[in-house]
Structure 1
């Protein structure tokens, strides 16, 4: 959820120029960096919860098998840039490619950069990767908002590096303003509003229906276990994509949730019938921004659309929580979320050359390889189809 602040900060006089140094760190070294890391988050013009300490440290501890290094850019004692880096194979090219790390558990790979030093920090990171033998940097699922695009383009222009935009997509989002009822009247069709109301009334025929949000840390920890059971009982469990399906993903979830609860950055909301939870939703909060991270529902109640009812309630909740922007974290083609959330966040996959000698790759080779990759399936399909 790399989200741009809607209003620029008053930054005061520009500080004096000091060299930016880049180094690579592992999990244990990062623990001592947390206070400066939090300061960097406050000075970054966009938000990315996946690279904040609670999320990233849990990923490194549970998911990383030792291949990820976190690149940090420092200006004296100031932390001015941070991004986890992994080695990536791209288009089967026989060269070393670095990528901003985004495992399946994460939803954003936009680097954290200090608003004062964003361009300088990014240039220093390019230079450091080049010194470590990398020829390309892949930034997969990074913000396409104007602030990040401007920083990225300034950095590549200043270093005469070429880049290729491989993919672009949008995610549903919400900027609460005014009242929830007025919002729903404006963005939802009359037919859809009636469907929500009918589903809720039908569910109420089964017993007492409540929407609840965990009020204290102990309650959130208890609900976390219920969420895991609920998720594993449905299609995610059958597809082995639930957090409880794999030891490493379960370890990540438990560690991450615990850290977020301790930092008061986690909201767990549930829908119950006769006190039995039938749908649950996890939100991650970063200042006044929210990412709707994961949902789960009891498939035995599918006819009442419990997941949709909880999403509907959660959007209503955002209007009462002082939230300036909410990322749905949903797939671009999720019809329900695209209807409930009337804004869109732009994302992209960028691949940048790290030295002038390989500029021809993002300029010519990658566009050609992508064209071939997209063309071949249709050609094969045409060849295998009998002509009548």
Structure 2
């Protein structure tokens, strides 16, 4: 439980005498942020009093996001952020006399910087190379109130945060609905970019029936044939990381070695190629395992790993994180064979409350896009905090994108040797 108000960090936003409210002045003292007090932390040391409530909020969020859980975000601050400036917003509601303060919302932001067509005054939801969701943590049932309070805070700080970018945020669901409603009620402008979607799996009652719907009979037969051929080469074994009694460091070391062996190692993009990335991975995986939220699978041949995957559980959801396979055995598709076993395991985890898994994959490709039936709609939101210049940018942004697209197409035509202004080379 959160500590009493007297223990909050000195940087808290308890008073905002110079800020303007969307409500009448006589109501400002209590309703400035819709009854919420904002605690702002700009360093890991300032988070202390919020940590316990943050842990509880991550478990009770309306839409889970493991990447914003303290055990995943704090290692990112330590190893991956570098000199980027960030602000962690904790929305605190005063509970009952016995309950005390309750943390209902968590919004981690990167401080304003430049971004494409946007000016250098755009803030962004916290994201790094291994963070695949920007969904804020909001307590279930408190979505409208928290979104309203956050937008009022944003409006009160419109000079410092004129624009806010949420790239590839969920386009549907309770948080997206609460955001759109709050924007309308508070009179703030927003641009919604084109929708995309990425693979999502919602396990059914039977794994084999799911696979029958996901793949043709010919494709299933081919995967069975590849499995038999692998088995003819030696002892083919599937292992699942157990909740207790495992040598976790051995699992993590094997994964890092397998990922670094292939093209990711050659391009220096594997986790083990950079000290900071390796330390982040080890810290996050260790914390997840201690909480029972780490899922790892291994397909091995004569105890030599052929394919491994690492995912995070956050019932009712789960998030795919990393997969690696031995490219020397690519002709046998060990990664795909392991993915099929993962689908079967997810169906077994339904009894433990896992109702879906986000692939966290690029919308346009990837193995999960061909094996998983469901899709998660995504949308990029650009929010104005209410300043005149920010409102102008929201109005002009669609035209800027069209102009940028036209210019890109024009340059491509010129690079292909097309005459300027013609529709075709022979035009």
User: TM-score surpassing 0.5?
Assistant: yes
Aligned to 1:24: 40
Which of 172, 176, 183 is matched with 2:199 structurally? 172
Matched, 1:340 2:371: yes
In the alignment, which residue of structure 2 is the partner of 1:72?
90
Is 2:129 the counterpart of 1:104?
yes
Q: Which has the higher contact order (CA 8 A, sep 6+)?
A: 1
Distance change >3 Å, CA 361–CA 203, structure 1 → 2: farther
2:16 aligns to what?
none
Aligned residues: 373
CA distance in 1, matches of 2:200, 2:140: 23
Distance 1:95 1:226, change over 3 A: closer
1:221 paired to 2:245: no
Whole-Å separation in 2 of the counterparts to 1:348 and 1:217: 42
Correspondent of 2:70 among 42, 48, 53? 53
Cα gap change, 1:88 to 1:196, in 2 (>3 Å):
farther
Partner residue of 1:84 out of 96, 108, 129: 108
CA distance in 2, matches of 1:245, 1:112: 31
Distance in 1 of aligned mates of 2:366 and 2:289: 31
Could you say which residue in structure 1 is the equivalent of 2:174?
A: 147
Q: Secondary structure at the match of 1:176?
A: coil
Following TM superposition, by how much is the alpha carbon of 1:115 offset from its aligned partner in structure 2, in angstroms?
3.1
CA distance in 2, matches of 1:263, 1:273: 30
Task: Show the counterpart of 1:8.
Answer: none
2:18 is aligned to none
Question: Aligned residue for 2:217?
Answer: 190
Q: Any conservation in 2 of the 1:95–1:134 contact (CA below 8 Å)?
A: no
Q: Deviations over 1:104-123 (max 9, x none)?
A: 11100011112333233223
Correspondence list, 1:256-295, <5 A: 256-295=284-323
Deviations 1:241-290 (A, max 9, x none): 11112222112111111111111110111000011111100010002321
Helix, strand or coil at the partner of 1:267: strand
SS at structure 1 position matched to 2:248: helix
Counterpart of 1:352 in structure 2 is: 383
Q: Which runs of 5+ in 2 are unaligned?
A: 1-30, 95-100, 419-424
CA 1:217 to 1:155, structure 2 compared with 1: closer, same or farther past 3 Å? Answer: farther
SS of 1:285 mapped into structure 2: strand
TM score, norm. by length of structure 1: 0.91
Closer, same or farther: CA 31–191 of 1 in aligned 2, 3 Å: farther
Shift of 1:334: 2.4
Cα distance change, pair 109–217 in 1 and its aligned pair in 2 (3 A): farther
326, 330, 333: which one aligns with 1:305: 333
Equivalent position of 1:246 in the other structure: 274
- Partner Cα distance (1:230, 1:245) in 2: 12
Supply the distance in 2 between the matched residues of 1:43 and 1:137 (Cα, whole angstroms).
25
- Following superposition, the deviation at residue 217 of structure 1 comes to 5.5
Counterpart secondary structure, 2:134: coil
* Shift of residue 31, structure 1, vs aligned partner: 4.2
> What is the match of residue 366 of structure 1?
397
1:34 corresponds to 2:51: yes
8 Å contact from structure 1 (residues 187, 340) kept in 2:
yes
Which stretch of the first structure deviates more once superposed, 313-322 or 35-44? 35-44
- Distance in 1 separating the partners of 2:280 and 2:303: 28
Aligned-partner SS, 1:156: helix
Residues 1:122 and 2:147 aligned together = yes
Does the CA-based 8 Å contact 1:172-1:342 persist in structure 2?
A: yes
Structure 1 distance, partners of 2:304, 2:175, is 44
Unaligned runs of 5+ residues in structure 1 are 1-16
C-alpha distance in 2 between matches for 1:338 and 1:102? 23
> For the structure 1 residues 361 and 306, does the alpha-carbon distance in structure 2 shift closer, same or farther, using more than 3 Å as the test?
farther
Aligned equivalent of 1:7: none
Rounded to whole Å, the distance in 2 between the matches of 1:357 and 1:260 is 44
Q: Does the aligned pair in 2 maintain the 1:22–1:73 contact within 8 Å?
A: yes
Give the secondary structure class of the aligned counterpart of 2:192: strand
Alpha-carbon distance in 2 for matches of 1:30, 1:218: 32
SS in 2 for 1:226: helix
TM-score of the two chains, using structure 2 as the length reference: 0.83
Q: Report the structure number with the largest CA radius of gyration.
A: 2
Report the alpha carbon displacement of residue 359 of structure 1 after superposing the two structures with TM: 5.5
Query: For 2:64 and 2:182, how far apart are their aligned partners in 1?
Result: 20
Q: Does the CA-based 8 Å contact 1:315-1:340 persist in structure 2?
A: no
